[in-house]
Structure 1
């Protein structure tokens, strides 16, 4: 079954000048349920519980603040470290899950909907559908044609840098891979680590793989590869890893012992020159320095595809199949879908864009406006490796495989043979 629901530039431009997603990626939470700020709600829908992966300070504050404005029920948030939440999601949903849980659009949503672990919220979409473009609805729709997800925010991936550093050194945003390499060489000569890099948590390196594969082989091949329909031993895939290996000398060393937050801080502290990451890297910058943060889309490698594709993951909320308070859960999802809720999110988090086409973008920072423009101009938008493929393949195969490559970048052939063998056992 084809689970691909690509976002096209045409669909993205249907009704939205700008839109967005929270960067709820990482951090540590206590895992203990705690009521959202505001105490007892004035409504009569009882108590709604949320299983949340928004464990970093800013995303956690966003969720707390948005739920505080919900008055139809009392909300209790169970915050768990992002990676722990993701690694245990299958067991969690089959056990005693919360009513609502934070999750991801596209394939990741569809996988659990197909297993009967999510509640159909098509009735919610009958009320909120007018606030979203068709592209966002597509990414919220299961393979059965029903909706299971409400988008909240999104964020593009790009190459981030500090304008003041580049101006001082005379660097210019590269348009080709050769130009990127030339800039990286100049940075090394100037005493800068060219490319901030971290993969302690397993997922950040996926973004580098995604963009290299889309730049070299195009969006269609990338999505087909994620769907288990292409061979990992194909020379096209080997070219991706060969190209990446050629860039390794410019990467920040010891990446497997570093979190994305630490790599982001190195960029903020002017120790590194650029960083391939999502716009949520802005969370690691002091407010006074945010105007100095900018980005360029990853440069062209294959002229046949140019720079037509990017990653722009959509985050949001789902209702578990075992929800005890379905009525309250659906009411809360309607609240999350409101433009006013997403306006709060984009104001509190400089790395977010609102997904509602009715959200107020007039208060966007220059960075947020640039992010929205980047997405609107993209011909193809991927959701990110671990969201465009099966979750078991992403977690049990790709995370250790990419970490192995980062550790031993010369062992490409044996690595790709191993990935292909494991893929064949999973995609049956």
Structure 2
């Protein structure tokens, strides 16, 4: 049994194991504002450190950062917030934020929002709980798409596919040419969710997808069965052994020109490319399946900062959040991590790479924007049901009926619990 499996089991058990060993907040008080960070990868970790240092120089306050492995942070967030959380912590917009707001684990920052500039109404909506109060300071967003290397497409004469049939034909051609068509790793449980989301939105539309995520549609419906069937048709072109491979390892095979494509978010492949190779990275929107829905929906998660309900240094936390809402804070971060897009309209876009500019254009042209499966649905449903279900599908894609019936049964139990 892997360490990750043990950690997940401990986190999801009925209180059998205490959380502090995984997410232990630093002591708060006059010594500094504490920050719970899930930025464990090298590039974002360095970029956030630069932003926090800029705040420290400006405010003469100290930020004590408690960095935890990204996946462990996500899997244990519920216990973390109910235990001894940091003053401020990194988290996600939309439903994932609203869930903890409803449970009374966040601090209302509506008063800060009244003085914020540069955030659109759409961003405010994604930062607002179902009680109408604001809880999140949005920091950046990044679209999911199909990433590839321009040089590989150019050298091999590959054309960008617009339809699903063209997509599958391209994968077949890549395989014939000795490439792995789709770099793929789902060891951490969430990366494959992006492929499901796009297949569902392209086949059934954004409204159906969001209704499915919120528990209002059945997982054993013909529409969902079609999604898994479409995915099953692509499985021969996916990298084998996905459940034993991290997304970082998968993205590295794209960088090494061993794989032709991968479905990930903007920061993920970029972090695995060297600075010299990064200009060769490109993407295209996930292809059309049903012309009625086209390529209208784009998956573009928003990340940001929240204040825990148990913040010890509330004044310091509010002061830090005010800084993080400024263009200055975003500019500092993006100087060290050119793999995300600033949400504040006042941020400097002059230094954006071609890939960042293309990402802005993709999101700006979208008719609907989703936040990702584990953000658009209940976190307990995503972590206890869908991670295991998708990994089960990857191991055995032929029992779709059994899979979706099991998902629907568990969904009813979890959503009925309120």
1:80 partnered with 2:65: no
Contact kept, 8 Å, 1:184 with 1:194, in 2: the verdict is yes
Matched, 1:379 2:364: no
* Alignment map for 1:11-410 (pairs within 5 Å): 47-71=32-56, 72=59, 73-128=61-116, 130-280=117-267, 281-410=269-398
TM-score, normalisation: structure 2: 0.92
User: Against the structure 1 CA distance between its residues 31 and 323, is the aligned structure 2 distance closer, same or farther, given a 3 Å change threshold?
Assistant: closer
- The 1:91/1:33 distance shift into structure 2, 3 A limit, reads closer
Report if aligned partners of 1:31, 1:81 keep a CA contact under 8 Å in 2.
no
1:421 matched to 2:406 = no
Residue 85 and residue 30 in structure 1: after superposition, are their counterparts in 2 closer, same or farther (change >3 A)?
closer
Measure the CA separation in 1 of the matches of 2:335 and 2:294: 33
Determine if contact 1:32/1:79 at 8 Å carries over to the other structure: no
Measured in 1, the distance between the counterparts of 2:55 and 2:231 equals: 46
Distance 2:368 2:209 in 1: 11
Cα deviation for residue 350 of structure 1 reads: 2.3
Equivalents in 2 of 1:33, 1:113: separation in Å?
20
2: CA distance between counterparts of 1:171 and 1:310?
A: 23
Q: Distance in 1 between matches of 2:44 and 2:178?
A: 34
Structure 2 regions of 5+ residues with no counterpart? 1-20
Q: Contact 1:283–1:350 (CA<8 Å) still a contact in 2?
A: no
**How many angstroms apart in 1 are the aligned matches of 2:128 and 2:337?**
27
Shift of 1:347: 2.2
Return the offset for 1:34: 8.2
- SS where residue 240 of structure 2 aligns? coil
CA contact (8 A) 2:25 2:86 kept: no
> Deviations for 1:34-83, whole angstroms, at most 9, x for unmatched residues?
89xxxxxxxx9751000110000011111111000113221100000111
Answer whether contact 1:347 1:364 (CA < 8 A) is retained.
no
Instruction: Kindly state the Cα deviation for residue 125 of structure 1 after the two structures are TM-superposed.
Output: 0.5
Q: What is the CA–CA distance in structure 2 between the aligned matches of 1:263 and 1:141, rounded to whole Å?
A: 35
| Whole-angstrom distance in 1 between the partners of 2:31 and 2:109 | 19
Q: Distance in 2 between matches of 1:377 and 1:323?
A: 39
> Root-mean-square deviation (CA), in Å?
1.5
Task: Using the TM superposition, name which of 336-345 and 202-211 deviates more.
Answer: 336-345
* Cα gap change, 1:329 to 1:205, in 2 (>3 Å): same
Q: CA deviation at 1:346?
A: 1.9
In structure 1, how many angstroms separate the alpha carbons of the residues matched to 2:144 and 2:234?
A: 18
CA distance in 2, matches of 1:312, 1:34: 32
Q: 2: distance between equivalents of 1:54 and 1:142?
A: 24
| SS of residue in 2 equivalent to 1:69 | helix
Alpha-carbon distance between aligned partners in 2 of 1:181 and 1:244, rounded to the nearest angstrom: 11
Task: After TM superposition, give the deviation of residue 127 of structure 1 in Å.
Answer: 1.3
Hey, what's the Cα distance between the residues in 2 that align with 1:45 and 1:339? 27
Structure 1 segments unaligned to the other structure (5+ residues): 1-28, 36-43
- Under a length normalisation based on structure 1, what TM-score does the superposition of the two structures give? 0.89
How many residues in Structure 1 have an aligned counterpart in Structure 2? Answer: 391
- CA–CA distance in 1 between the matches of 2:396 and 2:79? 32
* Pairwise CA distance, 1:31: 6.4
User: Which runs of structure 1 show a deviation greater than 3 angstroms over 4 or more consecutive aligned residues?
Assistant: 29-35
In 2: Cα distance, 1:290 partner to 1:424 partner: 45
Given that 1:45 and 1:327 are in contact with CA atoms closer than 8 Å, whether structure 2 keeps it comes out as no
Q: Which residue of 1 aligns with 2:7?
A: none
- Which stretch of structure 1 is more off in the superposition, 132-141 or 68-77? 68-77
